[in-house]
């Protein structure tokens, strides 16, 4: 089978770690490059975490370091959810430093996209600063991008602010640039992330699934994205699940804008399902997910990580 070429833009992050594992071990995806961006924790930590994960998985994928802070707004991390280092709870091996490119993430993305015979799918599971910079600096890349499948945003309420989701609210201007880029977008946000749960009985099964399962179990114990007993939210895996198993989702094609000047709602994704704004659709929004099937898919996918 021909593998689908993707670039993952990430900020590991406990749920990032699992999403990356599933992508790397999938027979259908070819991870060409992993780029990092400050988000859950600092750029330095998310990059080290990425290099540690690759050493742990035994996968040699080039890594490029991206933006250290958002375009305009001040940087605020999520170490309250992921712990100070971003991946607390498991004793990872040393970072595999030789995988780190000297190129900046934006330049590395441009090169990989332009060199690819087949259009690349971008999979941002973090704030969109790197992707916005890519389109601003090298708009020519758009012609060789198949689509963007992102974790971020919400058609309902938020998890960073009342109406704003973390990845979008961390850099709202970048998000708006990406939504206005003209590149096809799939948005898998809180509408599905809040229902993509790993329940305690799943965690016990996952624990038995080799070393990746054991790692996942230990990270889950520390993860405050939901509680261990009521279900852990696998936000970032929702983007990977869309690539591998789109039938899990109900999707609406619509216009999405990002609120940039709200007095209380900055960073809100305005998902115009009823067409009030009279704009052409610019995104497919994942409105609902089959939570039960997602759990099965997630366990099957982790079981393949060997
Ligand atoms: Ca993330």
Residue 297 has pLDDT above 80, yes or no: yes
CB 286 within 8 A of CB 189: yes
Cβ within 8 Å of residue 96, ≥6 positions away:
51, 52, 54, 55, 60
Supply the pLDDT for residue 247.
98
- 210 alpha carbon to ligand 1 midpoint, in Å? 24
Residue 178 has pLDDT above 80, yes or no: yes
Residue 13 has pLDDT above 90, yes or no: no
Q: pLDDT tens for residues 216-242?
A: 999 888 877 667 788 899 999 999 999
Q: Which residues surround ligand 1, an ion (CB under 5 A)?
A: 11, 13, 16, 125-126, 236
- 216 alpha carbon to ligand 1 midpoint, in Å? 15
Helices (DSSP H) in the chain: which residue ranges?
14-25, 43-57, 79-82, 105-115, 129-137, 166-170, 172-179, 190-193, 200-207, 210-222, 237-244, 291-303
Q: pLDDT tens for residues 102-157?
A: 999 999 999 999 999 999 999 999 999 999 999 999 999 999 999 999 999 999 99
- 34 alpha carbon to ligand 1 midpoint, in Å? 12
| Reduced DSSP (H G I as helix, E B as strand, rest coil) percent helix, strand, coil of the chain, to 5 | 40, 20, 40
Greater confidence (221 vs 58) lies with: 58
Residue 283 has pLDDT above 90, yes or no: yes
The span from the CA of 10 to the CA of 75, in Å, is 16
């Amino acid at each position: 089978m021909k593998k689908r070429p993707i670039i993952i833009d990430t900020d590991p992050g406990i749920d990032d770690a699992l999403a990356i594992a599933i992508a790397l071990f999938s027979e259908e995806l070819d991870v060409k490059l992993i780029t990092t961006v400050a988000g859950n924790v600092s750029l330095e930590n998310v990059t080290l975490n990425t290099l540690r994960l690759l050493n742990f998985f035994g996968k040699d994928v080039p890594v490029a370091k991206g933006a250290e802070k958002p375009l305009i707004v001040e940087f605020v991390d999520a170490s309250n959810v992921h712990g100070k280092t971003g991946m607390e709870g498991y004793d990872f091996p040393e970072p595999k430093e030789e995988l780190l490119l000297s190129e900046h993430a934006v330049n590395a993305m441009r090169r990989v996209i332009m060199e690819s015979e087949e259009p690349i799918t971008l999979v941002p599971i973090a704030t969109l600063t790197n992707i916005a910079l890519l389109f601003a600096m090298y708009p020519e890349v758009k012609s060789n991008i198949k689509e963007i499948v992102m974790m971020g945003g919400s058609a309902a309420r938020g998890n960073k602010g009342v109406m704003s989701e973390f990845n979008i609210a961390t850099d709202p201007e970048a998000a708006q640039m990406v939504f206005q880029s003209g590149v096809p977008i799939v948005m898998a946000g809180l509408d599905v992330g809040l229902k993509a749960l790993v329940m305690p009985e799943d965690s016990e099964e996952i624990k038995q699934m080799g070393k990746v399962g054991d790692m996942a179990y230990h990270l889950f114990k520390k993860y405050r994205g939901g509680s261990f007993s009521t279900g852990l939210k696998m936000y970032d895996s929702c983007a990977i699940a869309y690539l591998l198993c789109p039938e899990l989702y109900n999707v609406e094609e619509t216009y999405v804008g990002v609120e940039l000047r709200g007095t209380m709602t900055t960073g809100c994704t305005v998902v115009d399902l009823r067409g009030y704004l009279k704009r052409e659709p610019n995104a497919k929004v994942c409105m609902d997910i089959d939570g039960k099937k997602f759990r099965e898919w997630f366990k099957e996918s982790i079981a393949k990580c060997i």
